[in-house]
Amino acid sequence: MEIITKINQWISDAKSDAQEARSEAELFDLEKKYLGRKNGLLTNVLKSIKELSDSEKKVVGPRANEVKKEILTIINNQRKQLQEKQSQSTKTIDVTLPGKKIVSGHLHPLTIVQNDIVDIFTRMGFDIADGPEVESEWYNFDAVNVPDNHPGRDMQDTFWLRAEKGKKQSLLRTQTSAVQVRYMEKHTPPFHVIVPGRIFRHEATDASHEHTFHQFEALMVGNDISVANCKHVVSVFFSQFFKKDVEIRLRPGFFPFVEPGFEFDISCTVCDAKGCSVCKQAGWLEIGGAGMVHQNVFGASGYEKGKYQGFAWGFGLERLAMMKYNIDDVRLFHSGDLRFINQFR
């Protein structure tokens, strides 16, 4: 009988198809092809059995059911094999292979440098102080002896904030010196403290100027603190910061909050004072302003004028970071450029 030959053939067809199947989805399709409720090959044969003669029915019906069972067994066996293979491959994972790397955050270079600075001064016994970034004109200018007509107070240099009616205008602090009088109002000498912090200047930016940058202020006050103490502390700090001997040079300079005042230079750490592009062949690098605290600043803090003496400085933090890491553009620090930032992992 033609139909019997056909359904017998399906057994060997199903067998070879099942062996070739590489996934359970393929096996599912195969099952559908022969046994699916809609248009499954064997299902159709069984459905159309009523159209056959009685003698044909007796042969075709039972045989079709047998073939159906056989094909189901073939498919189920193959499914089992696939599942076993899969579980074996999970069992044989090589645990010595390196894992996927998890990307973790890290510190910004300025934070790294600030932490270094704080560590060094903490070891020297300095306190660390902090102050507000939105500051009053009093603490930022008046209290530290900056005269009314000083150009630093100008709109050109300072970010002034809009004042509420009847209130004094505040500003974004232009220097960490703003914290000096705040600190001295609450402490009595002798003390030594550094104030790292962010400051703001209303100015055009270029490779060496930013509108937002960082300073660290130092303030050491007692009965007999002198320029020699200042020089010593600065030279110990720089030698530890750059991990090599650094020469110090003082030049006269004017800053309203100190008297006498001076500019600090250190020997170029890039070329070891031989002369290079960073130090413009001079062998020296300008670090910032310093001096002996003006008695007017002590007066503004509520101290008796003439009773104490001390030194203060405001050094730029970016400058030091640029020297330490050989960075040639200050704007990179706040650029948010991950190609730059991720070098400091």
Residues in touch with Zn ion (CB under 5 A) = 268, 270-271, 276, 278-279
Residue nearest to Zn ion (CB): 268
CB of 238 to Zn ion, least distance (A): 15
Q: Rank residues 227 and 276 by Cβ distance to Zn ion and give the closer one.
A: 276
345 touches 326 (CB < 8 A): no
* Helix or strand run (H / E) with residue 14: helix 2-20
- Decide whether 118 or 276 has the Cβ nearer to Zn ion: 276
Query: At CA 41, angle to CA 39 and CA 46, rounded to 5?
Result: 90
Q: Give the helix/strand (H/E) hosting 338.
A: helix 338-341
Can you count the helices (H) and strands (E) in the chain? 11, 9
Of residues 61 and 283, the one with the C-beta less far from Zn ion: 283
CB of 324 to Zn ion, least distance (A): 14
Query: Could you tell me how far CA 157 lies from the centroid of its own chain?
Result: 30
Nearer to Zn ion, 118 or 270 (CB): 270
Residue 174 contacts residue 140 (beta carbons within 8 Å): yes
Our CB check for Zn ion shows the closer of 142 and 286 to be 286
- Considering the complex, what minimum distance in angstroms separates the CB of residue 114 from Zn ion? 24
- Write down the H helix ranges in 172-213: 178-186
What does the alpha-carbon distance between residue 317 and residue 329 come to, in Å, rounded to a whole number?
14
